Structure 1
Amino acid sequence: MSRDEHVSAFLSAVDLSLALASRPQVREAWERESACAGMTVGGLTHHLLSQVGNTVRGLRAAPDGPPPIALLEHYDRAAWVEAGPDDEVNKSIRDRDNDSAQVGPDVVLELAGEWADDVAVLVEAPRDPDTIFIPWQGWSLTTEDFLTTRMMEMVVHGDDLAASVGLETPTYPAGVLTPVLGLLTGVAVRRHGQTAVVRGLSRPQRAPASISAF
């Protein structure tokens, strides 16, 4: 996939996420608990849309961090990947997004719309080097890999949000789904091993109970 195609796929994921978050069912359920235990629908919506905001911040920052690491190494290093739902790293994420959602759906959606407008311009601008520093992690990714991580977050949490309010999960184009599934499969292989993932995808009679990436 070319960089232009990757950018186009990312922007389509942004559009689908905004469309889902703008549905009246989301607004009506804002204060209820979502499909993610401990997170309100509003908090989950904020978390979903903040992937766009994080991309804006990354693209606005100077690309002067350390050399980028590989995409799967990013998930090997990230503390939240193997943390339990009640571990501090995940609890702090839930609390932050729940608190941020207290301003209500109108404010969250207005801010997300501004992020979407900004990112559509920023993501097209050339970068040298073509990397993004992730300050909350302390390392860099290539811009393409960073966009893949944000698409994964939007696909996974888009499903969470749809399930929380009884809507159909968005149907993402192949340009989004192919890199996201590649990423999830790669993380799952590192966690469970090649054989477990092959069996989970093709041989349910010998498959382990779970091959979940996270």
Structure 2
Amino acid sequence: MSVIDAYLGAAGQAAALLEAPEVATAWGQPSALAKMTVGGLAGHLAYQILSVSSALQVCDSTVQESPPQEPPIPLLEHYARAAWIDVPLDGEVNSGIRAKGEAIASQGASWLAELASTSFVEQRTKLAQCSGDQAVFMPQTGWALRLDDFLITRMLELAVHMDDLAVSVGLAVQELPEEAFDLVLVLLARLAARRHGQAALLRTLTRVERAPAAINAI
């Protein structure tokens, strides 16, 4: 199965979660994430789908875009450069992420669920016209990724924030499709090994008596 198919499986689950009545009922309540309402968290989750719609202009032969200034960077380099990793909760980056989530959700649960669902349906058609090697420029970072790598970043975000949102509203956490989970798991394992070292990761998975206290990937 392709990365595109794996993304569509995860995005479809996220779109369905956004339609859950429990999400709408708890909209203005605090979420499982500090300083973020359920609505704001839902907005941040929906953004992971909406950002793909913006990126898909690279697949449209009728749209004349300037090529990226630099070639796509490797996926792990993307996370090495990421401004949001290890920044304080009240820092400018995280405050901006929370504010953007709240802004996206500002028109309510039903509107957001419909927007995410519509975007997802359109993506199923548009992604069929795409190649995973096409470069996707991300204005928010200033660099480009291959489309496949960009979709893997979205799957990681979808996996993490579907869990956050389900926990926030008391729903059982739905397992990702196997193909999507495998891609997310490999990325997280590589990030964790880079942060803590291979031995720490191996010991956490196989030797609990020698496992470190933390093995977080991000």
| Interval of TM-score (by shorter of Structure 1 and Structure 2) | over 0.9
- Report what 1:13 is aligned to: 10
State the Cα distance separating 1:191 from its structure 2 match.
1.3
User: Which one of 48, 53, 56 corresponds to residue 51 of structure 1?
Assistant: 48
- Report what 1:110 is aligned to: 114
1:41-69 C-alpha deviation (Å, 9 max, x unpaired): 11111111111110110111447212011
Shift in alpha-carbon separation, 1:127–1:176, aligned structure 2, 3 A: closer
Q: How does 1:36-75 map to 2 (within 5 A)?
A: 36-61=33-58, 62=65, 64-65=67-68, 66-75=70-79
- Report what 1:189 is aligned to: 193
Q: How does 1:106-185 map to 2 (within 5 A)?
A: 106-127=110-131, 130-185=134-189
2:79 and 2:209 mapped to 1: Cα distance?
Answer: 29
1:167-204 C-alpha deviation (Å, 9 max, x unpaired): 11111111100010011111111111111111122222
Please tell me whether the aligned partners of residues 14 and 162 of structure 2 are also in contact (alpha carbons under 8 angstroms).
yes
Shift in alpha-carbon separation, 1:172–1:191, aligned structure 2, 3 A: same
Please tell me whether the aligned partners of residues 63 and 132 of structure 1 are also in contact (alpha carbons under 8 angstroms).
no
Please tell me whether the aligned partners of residues 131 and 140 of structure 1 are also in contact (alpha carbons under 8 angstroms).
yes
The amino acid across from 1:138 in the alignment is: G
Please tell me whether the aligned partners of residues 133 and 148 of structure 2 are also in contact (alpha carbons under 8 angstroms).
no
2:166 and 2:66 mapped to 1: Cα distance?
Answer: 35
The CA RMSD measured in Å over matched residues stands at: 1.6
Q: Structure 1 length as normaliser, TM-score?
A: 0.93
Please tell me whether the aligned partners of residues 63 and 130 of structure 1 are also in contact (alpha carbons under 8 angstroms).
no
- Report what 1:77 is aligned to: 81
1:204 and 1:178 mapped to 2: Cα distance?
Answer: 23
Deviation >4 Å, runs of 4+ = none
Please tell me whether the aligned partners of residues 60 and 122 of structure 1 are also in contact (alpha carbons under 8 angstroms).
no
The amino acid across from 2:168 in the alignment is: S
For structure 1, the 5+ residue unaligned runs are: none
State the Cα distance separating 1:99 from its structure 2 match.
2.8
2:211 and 2:87 mapped to 1: Cα distance?
Answer: 23
Please tell me whether the aligned partners of residues 63 and 129 of structure 1 are also in contact (alpha carbons under 8 angstroms).
no
Shift in alpha-carbon separation, 1:63–1:167, aligned structure 2, 3 A: farther
Please tell me whether the aligned partners of residues 14 and 45 of structure 2 are also in contact (alpha carbons under 8 angstroms).
yes
State the Cα distance separating 1:211 from its structure 2 match.
0.7
2:29 and 2:140 mapped to 1: Cα distance?
Answer: 29
The amino acid across from 1:22 in the alignment is: E
For structure 2, the 5+ residue unaligned runs are: 59-64
1:199 is aligned to 2:196: no
